A and B are shown apart, each in its own frame.
Chain A
Amino acid sequence: MIPVLQTISLGIFVFFVIYCLATLTLLVMSIREISWYSRGQGPDRGSRGELARRPSVSLITPAHNEQELIVQSAKAFLASDYQPLEVLVVDDGSQDETFARLEEAFDLVPLPLRGRTVLRTAPITGVYISRTEPRLRVVQKDNGGKSDAINAGVSVTRGELVVVVDSDSLLEPQAITRAVRHFEIHPDQCMAVGGGIRVANGAEIVGGQVVAPHVSMKGIGATQVLEYLRGFFATRIAWSEMNGLLLVSGAFGMFHRDMLVALGGFSKDTLGEDMEMTMRIHHVLRPQMKDARVEFAPDAVCWTEAPSTMGGLRNQRVRWHTGLLDTLRMHWGMTCRPRFGAAGVFAMPYLVLFEATEPLIEVAGFVIVILLVILHAADWTYVLAFFLIAAVTGEVLSATALLIEEIGFRRYRALDLLRLTAWGLVESLWFRPALAYWRMKATVLTLTGRRPGWGKIQRGATLEKPAQAVAPLTR
């Protein structure tokens, strides 16, 4: 029994080292790419005029019971410097005053809209245009969940490109322009672009814009800033370079509208609709279009309020992990398949090994180490070494991510960077174990068929004809 446990613990140790090396490799690849941004050489450099085609963009923001923030969010989205832009707020069957507040603030007029929509959604009860801000449209529909709301928006919208933004997110005015640049440069290859998501906790916000991105004094906020910089920001630059990016975040993602329609819209069968759509792009399009690309625009920034309580963080992470497992199940066929390029050969195995199964291995590691101590097969030095390795190698990753941030973007003050470094040293003691536990819980919930949810999801009667097949992409 003891030799088995010891061998397993060694295996877990080796797994952890491999994880750190793989992630470090991604971070080092990112440094090379990010140095271009630091010299003002990002994709939008030298954009003095327009390219031959400037695509129209529709920003879709689904809103469900968002009466407090929705007017401010809509105004912030309309402050974008990109033209031509329309902003579409989809009121997904709110029971509060979401629609009433929009109507009052923007003087809405109903638009006659008939004909079939291209995606199957819950019934759309009205489409409105604002008298005071004609670029704003509001779609009123029965509740159907986030994916359904986005699909309704896609059906009603007219832009060539669709930007999906969470209604509680803050978009920097240049964000859309910077993301569109990727489509303008590679109009035939670029299918989707993910924006850089940053944590707004602790930041100074004026008029819907982050004016001073300070790091929260609270550990939960600061550690999430670090986590986003490391896991959701720095590594994506490398995945994007390899064309293996498997997640265009639902908080801020840009897609070809025709492609979304051709792929049947966002899936309502998963909580990870953003990741599912990104994987579907690779899964369906890559075999047909070898050069189809999903890119990451780190300088197109969207600020999001991260959970500020452990309860909120738990719910979010359980939901995310459930979504990840759903998505992996749906697109399992891509794993290790060269026809899907880096997405199949590198990104999928990374996701399976280090995201999906890592929590199980991490929790097992903790349990086995404790068991070995109880069974007197290892002493406390071993335990200490185990945790020290975890903490110090974790800090290597954090320090690299912070270096990328400092080289490429310089958003934070020196004091904030020091604070992040300090929180990085102790995150292995509380944050990582908590995450591992919640993700393991999500795995158990998924395996036993008890899934968390966004809330009440109703499917309305089908009004519209769904897309039947993947149509050729046109512009």
Chain B
Amino acid sequence: MAGALVPLVIVGPLRFTLWILAGAVAVIVVLIAIGVSRHIESVRADRVRARVRDELGPVFARFRETDDSTHLAQALRPAMLRMNAARRPVAAMMAIDLMNEASSPAETQALRAALEEAGVVELGERGTRRFSPWRRALACDALGKIGASRSVPVLLERLEDRRPEVRMAAVRALGDIGSAEAVPALGDAFLERRVAPTDVINDALRRIGGTAGIVFERGLATTDVAVRVSSCFGLAAVAVQRPGCVWRLAEVLALDSDTRVRAAAAAALGIVGGDEVPDSLLAAVNDPEVAVRRAAVRALGSFDDPSSGTTLEEHTEDDDRETAIRAAEALFALAGRPRSGAAARSRLEASSAWAIEYARTVAEVSA
């Protein structure tokens, strides 16, 4: 039996080998062909870019010299209509780049109007429904960069795209546009943790501002720790529009059971700052969790409140080295403030704590 198998064992692989070799060579040929075609495609794309640049260069140059957006729109539209499907998106991206380089909001506005008039926005909106996901994502990006507020409904549709990359691009674009119309949909997505990563939606809501603050306040009441953490930072970012947020954050710092949320609330209070330190922030410097203590002592440096000086000085001797250094840095921050400056400076002069020496050296070197 074994003897009969031997020729099969030897001959089998040999016959098989020929097929494998033929298949492998075919695969290599196909791969090389794809590689070469990709290379040719990219070279061609470079040429298209160069041609578009040549064609639109004078139009853009004239706009830069004269700031004449009417002429830009008039010249851009026929130029783009003459272009084929491959060159039109390139021209649109060039125009958008020009907008990003605008020197003033008025220039941005003029360029935006010109782009809308030239049909770039329609082109982008059509792009959001293309088959290729990367084209859809690029179109969303483009609409966001243009700041096309009329495209918000189209972008809201893309929040349900099957590809996460496209959804994320739509969220970012909505943030770029900054329209309050997007807040309800983005708010739901943020609170339910769907559509896109929490911090990406947070970023979009933060840039929209205004009513987005309500979403963050609602976020503080959810059971999801990640949403609560993100909401703390979101609320801090819109604090100017919602002055009461300090007390809401202070409440979270005092009552939330999760260390990460308390640390985030303390850090967020540090971002907001103010004249009067909330009691919960003063209490948080003695929190058993080191992450909360670290965030709290740093945050104290953002409040021009003389009452925090003693606490900070005590914590320059904290067991945790990072807390000690942060306390010293916060004392130095207080030393530069009008109300608490004098007391803080005298504390710094009198203290021999190593953390204060550390912060002093870093401050001197950095200066």
User: A residues near B, CB below 8 A?
Assistant: 2-3, 6-7, 10, 13, 17, 35-36, 39-41, 45-46, 48-53, 109, 111-117, 129-131, 134, 158, 184-188, 258, 377-378, 381-382, 385, 388-389, 392-393, 395-396, 399-400, 402-403, 406-407, 410, 414, 417, 421, 472-475
Knowing A111-B358, A185-B199, the reply to whether A406 touches B6 (Cβ < 8 A) is no
Flag if B197 contacts A185 (CB, 8 Å). Answer: yes
Flag if B165 contacts A475 (CB, 8 Å). Answer: no
A50 to B292, CA, bound (A): 24
Contacts of B6 in A (CB 8 A): 2-3, 6, 377
User: B residues near A, CB below 8 A?
Assistant: 2-3, 5-6, 9-10, 12-14, 17, 20-21, 24-25, 27-28, 31-32, 34-35, 38-39, 42, 134, 137-138, 141, 144, 165, 168-169, 172, 176, 197-200, 202-203, 206-207, 225-226, 229-230, 233-234, 237, 259-260, 263-264, 289, 291-292, 319-322, 324-325, 354, 357-358, 361-362, 365-366
With A10-B9, A41-B138 already in contact, 13 other A-B pairs whose C-beta atoms are closer than 8 Å: A3-B9, A39-B134, A49-B203, A52-B234, A53-B233, A111-B361, A115-B321, A185-B168, A385-B21, A389-B17, A392-B24, A393-B20, A474-B292
Flag if A3 contacts B206 (CB, 8 Å). Answer: no
Flag if A475 contacts B13 (CB, 8 Å). Answer: no
A246 to B168, CA, bound (A): 27
Nearest A residue to B360, CB-CB:
A112
Nearest A residue to B14, CB-CB:
A385
A441 to B138, CA, bound (A): 51
Task: Pick from A35, A46, A406, A475 the residue with the most CB of B within 10 Å.
Answer: A46
Contacts of B259 in A (CB 8 A): 472, 474
Task: Pick from B134, B144, B168, B365 the residue with the most CB of A within 10 Å.
Answer: B365
Nearest B residue to A407, CB-CB:
B38
Contacts of A49 in B (CB 8 A): 203, 207
Knowing A45-B141, A115-B324, A158-B325, the reply to whether A474 touches B260 (Cβ < 8 A) is yes
A39 to B362, CA, bound (A): 43
Flag if A395 contacts B35 (CB, 8 Å). Answer: no
Contacts of B322 in A (CB 8 A): 158
Contacts of B207 in A (CB 8 A): 49
Flag if B35 contacts A378 (CB, 8 Å). Answer: no
Contacts of A184 in B (CB 8 A): 199
Nearest B residue to A394, CB-CB:
B24
Flag if A474 contacts B263 (CB, 8 Å). Answer: yes
Flag if B2 contacts A3 (CB, 8 Å). Answer: yes
Contacts of A475 in B (CB 8 A): 229, 260, 263-264, 291
Contacts of B357 in A (CB 8 A): 112
CB < 8 Å neighbour of B361 from A129, A186, A188, A377: A129
Contacts of A414 in B (CB 8 A): 39
Flag if A114 contacts B321 (CB, 8 Å). Answer: yes
A72 to B137, CA, bound (A): 40
A45 to B12, CA, bound (A): 52
Contacts of A117 in B (CB 8 A): 321
Contacts of B5 in A (CB 8 A): 3
Flag if B10 contacts A382 (CB, 8 Å). Answer: yes
Knowing A52-B233, A114-B354, A158-B325, the reply to whether A134 touches B366 (Cβ < 8 A) is yes
8 closest A-B pairs by beta carbon, nearest first, are A474-B291, A115-B321, A52-B233, A399-B31, A385-B17, A39-B134, A392-B24, A134-B366
Flag if B28 contacts A130 (CB, 8 Å). Answer: no
Contacts of A46 in B (CB 8 A): 141, 144, 169, 172
A279 to B327, CA, bound (A): 36
Contacts of A113 in B (CB 8 A): 321, 354, 358
Flag if A388 contacts B35 (CB, 8 Å). Answer: no
Knowing A46-B144, A410-B42, the reply to whether A129 touches B13 (Cβ < 8 A) is no
A314 to B248, CA, bound (A): 62
Contacts of B324 in A (CB 8 A): 115
Nearest B residue to A399, CB-CB:
B31
CB < 8 Å neighbour of A396 from B10, B24, B237, B325: B24
Contacts of A258 in B (CB 8 A): 291
Flag if A41 contacts B165 (CB, 8 Å). Answer: yes
A41 to B38, CA, bound (A): 17
Min distance, Cβ A467 to any Cβ of chain B, angstroms = 12
Contacts of B226 in A (CB 8 A): 187-188
Nearest A residue to B27, CB-CB:
A396
User: Can you report 8 residue pairs joining A to B where beta carbons are below 8 Å apart?
Assistant: A3-B3, A111-B358, A111-B361, A116-B319, A187-B199, A396-B28, A474-B289, A475-B264
Flag if A131 contacts B365 (CB, 8 Å). Answer: yes
Contacts of A51 in B (CB 8 A): 199-200, 202-203
Flag if A381 contacts B28 (CB, 8 Å). Answer: no
Contacts of A134 in B (CB 8 A): 362, 365-366
Knowing A6-B6, A382-B14, A474-B263, the reply to whether A52 touches B141 (Cβ < 8 A) is no
A112 to B354, CA, bound (A): 6
Flag if B39 contacts A399 (CB, 8 Å). Answer: no
Contacts of B165 in A (CB 8 A): 36, 41
Min distance, Cβ B141 to any Cβ of chain A, angstroms = 6
A414 to B42, CA, bound (A): 12
Min distance, Cβ B332 to any Cβ of chain A, angstroms = 15
A82 to B20, CA, bound (A): 49
Flag if B35 contacts A392 (CB, 8 Å). Answer: no
Contacts of B230 in A (CB 8 A): 52
Knowing A111-B358, A114-B354, the reply to whether A403 touches B31 (Cβ < 8 A) is yes
Nearest A residue to B29, CB-CB:
A399
A388 to B207, CA, bound (A): 60
Contacts of A382 in B (CB 8 A): 10, 13-14
Min distance, Cβ B78 to any Cβ of chain A, angstroms = 28
Min distance, Cβ A285 to any Cβ of chain B, angstroms = 15
Flag if A39 contacts B199 (CB, 8 Å). Answer: no
Flag if B20 contacts A17 (CB, 8 Å). Answer: yes
Flag if A39 contacts B13 (CB, 8 Å). Answer: no
CB < 8 Å neighbour of A395 from B28, B200, B325, B365: B28
A421 to B6, CA, bound (A): 37
Contacts of B229 in A (CB 8 A): 188, 475
